[in-house]
Structure 1
Amino acid sequence: MSIPRFLDIEYCQTDDALFPTAIAWSLEDGRMKTVIITPDEDWLPADGDLGDIDLRYLEEQGVPLLDVVRELHEDLPDQTVYVDGLDPDEILVDKLFSAVAQEAPFEIAPISELITGLDTDTLEDQRRQLMIDEGLEPQLPENGVYALLLMARNEGLMDD
């Protein structure tokens, strides 16, 4: 049985900016990758206001966009990648890939297209409860991916 692929993106959103700051995704074997993203200069607002985002941290710890895109191409080619459906994931993925003039090698779909027996509100309640039960910090993208993996396992969509 193949394991569905999942992705979660953390991002900066202000009046003048919307861009990805960290991304996590699952691999074919269920392992995960997580990277901090070095923002593109074009993403940064002229006034420098990034709310509670630490630009120095992103610049020091972040992975260059080209490297992030290369890894996503290697890990998720021709896949349907499931997201929680709460964030502007498609916009963020488009922003990431268009910054290096490439197209995403995968399609994004909400978890509700994978787990079809439950409505969106029930799925979100389950995801939120899993985060609480597992002691996961919701702002970390790897925790979002882990919760989606647990949901898929609980629905019998992958082996334990």
Structure 2
Amino acid sequence: MRFPQFLDIEFVDTEELCFPTAIAWSLADGSMKTVVIEPDEAWLPDDPDSVDVDLRYLQEQGVPLLELARELNEDLSDQTIFVDGLDPDEGLVDLLFDAIEMPVPFELATVDHLVKHLSRGELEDWRRELLFTHGLDPQLPESGVFALLMLARDEGLIPEDGDL
């Protein structure tokens, strides 16, 4: 069975810049991948202390953009991938692929296109409740994807016995 697929991105956002730092996405079987992103040099601020993130860690431990793009292409190509709609996910995905001059191989849609009988506000309240109930850190992209997978399971889009 093919499950709906979800994506969430953690990012730096200041007055001067906005760039992704970590990403999580689910696969068609309901499993999940998550990686720290090595930032493109063009994204980095002149003053490393101006951002509230460990840039050295991202540069040393992050997955290079080309490798990340290949993996996203392999896992998500030609699919509609759902996001919570709270963050600038589409712009961040565009930024990732623009940095390596590659087209985005998938389409993004907000979760309200998947669960149509609830408003965005109702879906966000439900997602937030899932995060709280399961003790998930809302700042981690894997928590966001997990909450969206649970929401899809609660809606009957993923079987109850589907491993999450």
Which of the five TM-score ranges fits, normalised by the shorter chain?
Answer: over 0.9
Structure 1 contact 6–26 (Cα < 8 Å) conserved: yes
Q: How does 1:112-127 map to 2 (within 5 A)?
A: 112-127=112-127
Aligned equivalents of 1:24, 1:145: Cα separation in 2: 7
SS at match of 2:22: strand
Report matched runs for 1:2-151 at 5 Å. Answer: 2-151=2-151
Q: CA deviation at 1:50?
A: 4.2
Write the deviation string for residues 83-131 of structure 1: whole angstroms up to 9, x where unpaired: 0000000000000000000011100000000000100110000000000
The alignment yields a C-alpha RMSD, in angstroms, of 0.9
Structure 1 pair 50–25 and aligned structure 2 pair: CA distance change class (3 A):
farther
Letter in 2 for 1:11: F
Count how many residue pairs are aligned between Structure 1 and Structure 2: 160
Deviation of 1:62 (Å): 0.4
SS at match of 1:148: helix
Q: Are the counterparts in 2 of residues 13 and 50 from structure 1 also a CA contact under 8 Å?
A: no
In structure 2, the residue corresponding to 1:118 is in which secondary structure?
Answer: coil
Q: Check 1:96–1:150 CA distance in 2 against 1; reply closer, same or farther (3 A cut).
A: same
**Where does the alignment leave 5 or more consecutive residues of structure 1 unmatched?**
none
> What does the per-residue CA deviation read over 1:37-96, in whole Å, with 9 as the maximum and x for residues that have no partner?
000000112233442111011011100000000000000010000000000000000000
Q: Partner of 1:9: helix, strand, or coil? A: strand
Percent identity over the alignment is 61
TM-score when normalising by structure 2: 0.95
